[in-house]
């Protein structure tokens, strides 16, 4: 009997793919005996190779020389390249010397990359032995290296959260989404912090989990939704005291990062929040499609420069609150307490679908949550195929139909297919929540409840007054 789930036995896609290397794992094969190539090291190798391929895609754009709209024709656009000059990162500190439209900890990562790349530039100029490259290129390379570390952390935390299914982390390392968007922006930094926070929660360290999730919120706001998922599940399990400790630790960590910057440079610090309020619906959002379908007059109509879309902001807020209430009902009404990744995935996916901004790289937020919520290769690969399609049609749309690009209708078709794929994935997760016998995580190993649940794992269900069938109650 293996000591872990064997993917070539349990997943038809892996079983079929294994034919290329001799077929599924044998009945009498022994697992857990490899002295070096453990599941963790193999999955980290996969992620390293994915990052290398992502860099090959990114390299043509790394020097900032983009003749003939190279960034679109080669699908290699990334925000760090133009923002290096826009924010003056070679000379200025984010917030203190320059206005930055990102949360504070992401600005700190920019400053770290600029400091490291600046050190390389000075060493190259002084020694004459190192390759002399434009400052923007050394900054881009250092940024990509730091984000690669983030990708490895995501793999490590996902493997830890998968319990008896360590090979599920291979879905991160072999992810087409990771290849396409690893270096598009700084999102992997926040995803890594969120993964570490969930890992700490799974290890029953709620204060550390709160600190890490709070730092994640200081890098990108979305990890606050993970706190929301924990709140709903702790409410159902009668563990609100534990959740409160996590939430207070998260607030303290966020404040420790933000308050000093807010005091030193209040106007620049608040720019992120002002920008978030004033920006309109971005091209990939459902609201932009609705506005275009309405001839541009829907919601607020044409806006002056700097004018906030008040009506759109209100509609988005109401939609998000309504969706959140729906997930809350599902969390409390399900026959068994849902697993943490299931509710977290639904909240983040709904936020992306209903928010007025869904930049293509935001989909990285979903990747580890989707893997943990429903670790099925076929559905995850089909969804990620639509994410790759969105990136292709986005770059071709920005290229323009007059310059061998595509018209907006084809762009909307690609985005619409992605949205449908995400909705289908959400529906499958909801089905698993309502019918736990379909949940591959709970049914893949005897006695498994929620490997990412921490104090919730196998805990008595306060609404049902009993643990899940076959589970051993844990009152911690």
Reply yes or no on whether the pLDDT at 468 is more than 60: no
Cα 399-404-409 angle, rounded to 5 deg? 70
State the average pLDDT for the chain.
91
Distance CA 3, CA 54 (A): 34
Q: Taking the model in full, what pTM does it have?
A: 0.93
User: What are the beta bridge partners of residue 466?
Assistant: 461
Tell me how far apart the alpha carbons of residues 289 and 397 are, in angstroms, rounded to a whole number.
14
pLDDT at residue 22 in the model? 59
Place 303 in a pLDDT band, splitting at 50, 70 and 90.
confident
Q: Is the Cβ–Cβ distance between 415 and 447 less than 8 Å?
A: no
Distance CA 87, CA 457 (A): 45
- Summarised one tens digit per residue, pLDDT across range 405-427 is 999 999 999 999 999 999 999 99
Kindly indicate the confidence band of residue 476, based on its pLDDT and cuts at 50, 70 and 90. Answer: very low
Confidence band for 209, pLDDT divided at 50, 70 and 90: very high
pLDDT in tens, 372-407: 999 999 999 999 999 999 999 999 999 998 888 999
User: How much is the average pLDDT of 203-227?
Assistant: 97
Cβ-proximal residues to 211 (8 Å cutoff; 6+ apart), any chain: 197, 249, 250, 252, 253
pLDDT at residue 29, as a whole number = 57
Q: Give the pLDDT mean for 130-143.
A: 95
Q: Which residue has the higher pLDDT, 224 or 470?
A: 224
- pLDDT in the model for residue 87: 93
* 3-state helix/strand/coil string of 97-131: CECCCCCHHHHHHHHHHHHHHHHHHHHHHHHCCCC
Q: What is the pLDDT of residue 14?
A: 65
Rounded mean pLDDT, 311-323: 96
Could you tell me which of 365, 344, 375 has the C-alpha nearest to residue 159? 375
Compute the average pLDDT of residues 456-475: 60
User: According to the model, what pLDDT value does residue 447 have?
Assistant: 80
Residue 4: Cβ-neighbour burial (10 angstroms; 0-12, 13-18, 19+): middle
| Alpha-carbon dihedral 37, 341, 239, 228, rounded to 10 degrees | 130
Residues 107, 250: Cα–Cα separation, whole Å? 19
């Amino acid at each position: 009997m293996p000591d872990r789930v064997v993917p070539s036995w349990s997943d038809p896609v892996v079983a079929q793919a294994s034919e290329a290397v001799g077929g599924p794992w044998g009945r009498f094969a022994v697992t857990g005996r490899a002295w070096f190539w453990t599941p963790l090291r193999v999955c980290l190798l996969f992620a390293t190779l994915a990052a290398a391929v992502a860099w090959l895609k990114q390299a043509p754009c790394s020097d900032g020389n983009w003749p003939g709209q190279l960034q679109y024709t080669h699908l290699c656009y990334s925000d760090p390249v133009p923002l290096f000059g826009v924010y003056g990162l070679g000379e200025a500190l984010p917030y203190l010397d320059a206005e930055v439209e990102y949360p504070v900890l992401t600005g700190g990562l920019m400053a770290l990359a600029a400091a490291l790349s600046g050190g390389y530039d000075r060493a190259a100029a002084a020694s004459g032995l190192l390759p002399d490259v434009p400052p923007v290129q050394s900054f881009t390379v250092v940024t990509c290296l730091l984000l690669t570390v983030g990708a490895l952390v995501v793999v490590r935390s996902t493997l830890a959260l998968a319990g008896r299914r360590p090979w599920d982390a291979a879905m991160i390392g072999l992810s087409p989404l990771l290849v396409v968007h690893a270096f598009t922006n700084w999102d992997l930094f926040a995803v890594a912090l969120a993964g570490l926070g969930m890992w700490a929660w799974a290890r029953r360290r709620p204060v550390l989990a709160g600190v890490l999730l709070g730092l994640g919120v200081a890098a990108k706001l979305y990890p606050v939704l993970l706190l929301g998922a924990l709140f709903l599940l702790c409410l159902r399990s009668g563990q609100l005291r534990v959740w409160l400790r996590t939430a207070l630790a998260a607030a303290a960590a966020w404040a420790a990062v933000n308050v000093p910057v807010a005091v030193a440079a209040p106007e620049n610090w608040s720019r992120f929040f002002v920008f978030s309020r004033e920006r309109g619906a971005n091209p990939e959002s459902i609201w932009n499609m609705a506005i275009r379908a309405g001839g541009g007059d829907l919601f607020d109509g044409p806006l002056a420069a700097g004018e906030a879309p008040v009506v759109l902001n209100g509609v988005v807020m109401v939609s998000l609150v309504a969706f959140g209430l729906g997930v809350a009902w599902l969390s409390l009404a399900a026959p068994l307490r849902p697993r943490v990744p299931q509710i977290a995935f639904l909240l983040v996916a709904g936020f992306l679908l209903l928010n007025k901004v869904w930049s293509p790289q935001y989909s990285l937020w979903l990747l580890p949550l989707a893997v943990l919520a429903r670790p099925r290769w076929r559905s995850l690969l089909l969804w990620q195929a639509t994410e790759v399609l969105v990136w292709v049609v986005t770059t071709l749309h920005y290229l323009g139909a007059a310059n061998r690009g595509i018209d907006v209708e084809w762009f909307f078709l690609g985005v619409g297919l992605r949205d449908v794929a995400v909705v289908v994935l959400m529906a499958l997760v909801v089905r698993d929540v309502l019918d736990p016998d379909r949940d591959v995580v709970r049914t893949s190993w005897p006695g498994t409840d929620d490997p990412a649940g921490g104090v919730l794992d196998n805990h008595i269900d306060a609404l049902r007054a009993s643990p899940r069938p076959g589970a051993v109650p844990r009152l911690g």
